[in-house]
């Protein structure tokens, strides 16, 4: 099993959105039995909570399923994860600092690095939490734009993993 975990701040907006979108793409690609998709937050403020209602609304309007409980990312998880996807540069920094080994730190990548249309200056998926609903819609667009590139990378890694 190839394991991918999306990480944002509180695990109620961006990372559950990325998890739902990517899980749907993995399933559509026929990789559902080979790839496990999950999410977490760098902080534990929302542990046990569902996704933000605006995240749920945007996902449901776009036809994505979600069933989510927020969790805090733990450094011990690195051992069982193949890829840790950070939603912004702050998460990338925090996660790499949490990594027990340089090999674990190398598992952490920015989601938008998989979007061929994103420039080097456009690395973050902005946090929509404190803003209006359209920030959540923009978040979904950015996640969807990066997902095909991420899927290609994961598909190649799974092929390597199972070869």
pLDDT means per 10 residues in the chain (163 residues)?
Answer: 97 98 97 96 94 97 94 97 97 97 98 94 94 96 98 94 74
What's the confidence (pLDDT) of residue 120? 86
82 is catalytic: no
Contact between 51 and 69 (Cβ < 8 Å): no
Boundaries of every domain in the chain = 2-162
What's the confidence (pLDDT) of residue 42? 96
- Considering the candidates 5, 8, 13, 139, report the single residue annotated as catalytic: 8
Can you tell me which residue has the tokens 């805090």?
72
- Considering the candidates 14, 54, 71, 112, report the single residue annotated as catalytic: 14
Number of other CB atoms surrounding residue 3 within 10 Å: 15
Write out the CATH class of domain 2-162.
alpha beta
For 49-72, the pLDDT digits (tens) are 999 999 999 999 999 998 999 999
What's the confidence (pLDDT) of residue 1? 93
- Considering the candidates 49, 94, 127, 155, report the single residue annotated as catalytic: 127
14 is catalytic: yes
5 is catalytic: no
CA dist 99 and 160 (Å) reads 24
What's the confidence (pLDDT) of residue 162? 75
Direct distance between the N- and C-terminal alpha carbons of the chain, in angstroms, rounded to an integer: 13
């Amino acid at each position: 099993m190839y394991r991918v975990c999306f990480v944002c701040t509180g695990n109620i907006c961006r990372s559950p959105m990325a998890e739902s979108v990517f899980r749907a793409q993995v399933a559509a690609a026929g990789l559902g039995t080979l790839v496990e998709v999950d999410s977490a937050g760098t902080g534990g403020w929302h542990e046990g909570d569902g996704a933000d209602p605006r995240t749920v609304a945007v996902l449901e309007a776009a036809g994505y399923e979600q069933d989510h409980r927020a969790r805090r990312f733990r450094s011990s998880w690195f051992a069982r994860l193949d890829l840790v996807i950070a939603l912004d540069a702050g998460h990338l920094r925090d996660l790499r600092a949490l990594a027990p080994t340089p090999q674990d730190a190398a598992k952490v990548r920015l989601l938008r690095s998989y979007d061929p249309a994103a420039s080097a200056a456009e690395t973050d998926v902005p946090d929509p939490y404190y803003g209006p609903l359209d920030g959540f819609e923009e978040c979904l667009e950015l996640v969807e734009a990066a997902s095909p590139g991420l899927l290609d990378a994961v598909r190649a890694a799974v092929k390597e993993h199972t070869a």
